[in-house]
C-alpha cells in the first residue's frame, strides 16, 4: 500500500468518504494540470509548481469575513479608518523603524507586526465603536441595562471585535500597499 493510500484511508476514517472523494478529484485535477503545464514547458515542472499555478488560476479564497470586508471597503465604509491608519503610520515611524531593526524586516512587515502587537491605532475611537455595538445589542434586546449588556458583550464579543478590527487594518494595508509604502519611505514627509 502506497503512502498516499495510507493517508487517504486515515482521512476517510476521520472525515468520511465524501471528503476523500473530493480530495481525490482535486488531486486528479492538479495531476492533469501538471501534465498540461509540463507539456507546454517541454519539461516536468514538478508538483509544487503545478499546485501553485492551479491555485492562482482556479482556487478562490472564499473566506466570508474577508469577502465582507472587501465589500464594505469598496462601499467606502473604511475611508475614515484608512485616514486614521495613515496618521498612525506618520506618527509612529520611529517605532516602526525600531520594530524593523529588531526583527530584521522590511518596513511594511514591521508595520504589520506593530499592528498585530498593539491591535489599535486610535483607542478613543475604537472604544466609541465598541460602545455603539453595545448600544445596538441593547436595542436588539429592548433593554436599557447597559451595564449588564456591556459586561456580557465584552465577555462574548470583545476579542472577536478586536480580531476583526485588526483584520480590517491588515486588509487596508494590503489594498493600499503603495500608499503606505510611500508613507514609510520618507521619515520627513508628512501626510
pLDDT in tens, 17-49: 666 666 677 777 888 888 889 999 999 988 788
* Cell 491591535 found at: 119
Do 68 and 50 fall within a single domain? Answer: no
**Rounded CA gap, 41 and 34, in Å?**
10
Tell whether 117 and 146 lie within a shared domain. yes
Residues 7 and 91 in one domain: no
Q: Supply 34's cell numbers.
A: 501538471
Count other C-beta atoms under 10 Å from residue 117's C-beta.
9
> Per-residue confidence at 95, pLDDT binned at 50, 70, 90?
very high
Last residue of a domain, one of 58, 76, 91: 58
Average pLDDT, the chain: 85
Interacting residues of 100 by C-beta distance below 8 A, sequence separation 6+: 106, 107, 109, 110
Cβ–Cβ < 8 Å for 94, 110:
no
Of 2-11, 60-69, 152-161, the range with the highest mean pLDDT is 152-161
> Which of 43-52, 110-119, 150-159, 162-171 shows the lowest per-residue confidence on average (mean pLDDT)?
43-52
**Rounded to a whole number, what is the distance in angstroms from the first to the last CA of the chain?**
63
In angstroms, the CA 114 to CA 63 distance is 24
Same domain? 127 vs 73: yes
What the block records as the C-alpha cell of 154 is 465584552
Between CA 191 and CA 84 the distance in angstroms is: 11
Q: What is the pLDDT of residues 160-184, one digit of tens each?
A: 999 999 999 999 999 999 999 999 9
Domain annotation covers residue 190: no
- The total number of structural domains in the chain stands at 2
Amino acid at each position: 500500500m502506497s503512502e498516499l493510500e495510507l493517508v487517504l484511508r486515515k482521512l476517510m476514517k476521520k472525515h468520511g468518504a465524501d471528503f476523500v472523494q473530493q480530495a481525490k478529484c482535486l488531486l486528479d485535477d492538479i495531476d492533469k494540470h501538471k501534465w498540461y503545464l509540463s507539456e507546454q514547458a517541454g519539461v516536468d515542472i514538478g508538483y509544487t509548481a503545478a499546485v501553485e499555478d492551479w491555485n492562482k488560476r482556479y482556487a478562490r479564497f472564499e473566506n466570508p469575513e474577508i469577502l465582507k470586508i472587501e465589500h464594505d471597503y469598496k462601499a467606502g465604509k473604511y475611508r475614515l479608518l484608512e485616514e486614521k491608519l495613515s496618521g498612525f503610520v506618520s506618527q509612529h515611524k520611529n517605532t516602526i523603524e525600531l520594530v524593523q531593526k529588531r526583527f530584521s524586516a522590511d518596513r511594511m512587515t514591521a508595520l504589520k507586526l506593530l499592528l498585530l502587537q498593539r491591535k489599535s491605532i486610535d483607542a478613543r475611537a475604537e472604544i466609541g465603536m465598541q460602545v455603539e455595538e453595545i448600544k445596538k445589542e441593547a436595542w436588539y434586546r429592548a433593554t436599557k441595562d447597559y451595564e449588564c449588556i456591556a459586561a456580557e458583550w465584552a465577555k462574548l464579543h470583545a476579542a472577536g471585535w478586536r480580531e476583526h478590527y485588526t483584520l480590517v487594518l491588515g486588509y487596508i494595508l494590503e489594498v493600499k500597499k503603495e500608499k503606505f509604502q510611500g508613507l514609510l519611505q520618507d521619515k520627513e514627509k508628512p501626510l
